[in-house]
Amino acid sequence: MQAVVKADIPDAKIAAVLSNKEDAAGLAWAAEHGIETAALNHKHYPDRLSFDRAMMEKIDSYQPDLVLLAGFMRILTPEFCRHYENRLINIHPSLLPAFTGLHTHGRAIEEGCRVAGCTVHFATAELDNGPIIAQGVVPVLDDDTADTLAARVLKVEHQILPQAVADFVSGSLKISGKRVINSRNTTQETHLIA
């Protein structure tokens, strides 16, 4: 979220930063930078759908063109995903479709991967399976731990997420099935950081 704010994307206004945790560091950072914040604790709702409906109501009060999931670590209901279809973007710390879900870096190391990375994609009801907007790649080093690999991947996340948001805002992205066509460029970008 901070990388997107700091990118100062033309024609993009960050309307608010929301969280399901009142003590999320991102809320304090956003407030310090003059961005409206709100928190809805998922534990105060009887079930996942009730929470998602409350979150949708809160989000909709800002009338956003795009909802960005940056560090929001909850599985969303199909209703939520349908409500924001084609305008709900997530970043995931693996090269999807490999390693959906949690513990991606450790799993990549355990499987002997020579490269790892991150994926920006449109979120759908199927976990970590929406149309891919961009991916960034880093090498997996022989002495890597899940933490060292995660730190390298995070640097790439901070590059590709703001660019993906800028491409959405500029109208450069078109979804065709599970493929995202980016009119900004005719070749798929790969970001490699050693």
Catalytic residues: 92
Residue that is written with structure tokens 């399976």 in the block: 129
Residue that is written with structure tokens 């929406």 in the block: 130
The answer to whether residues 142 and 63 touch, using CB atoms and an 8 Å cutoff, is no
Closest by Cα among 91, 71, 76, 86 to 25? 71
The answer to whether residues 115 and 106 touch, using CB atoms and an 8 Å cutoff, is no
Q: Return the DSSP state at 172.
A: -
Structure tokens at 35: 């961005």
Closest by Cα among 9, 32, 74 to 17? 32
Cis bond before residue 78 (omega within 30° of 0): no
CA separation for the pair 80, 72 (Å, rounded)? 14
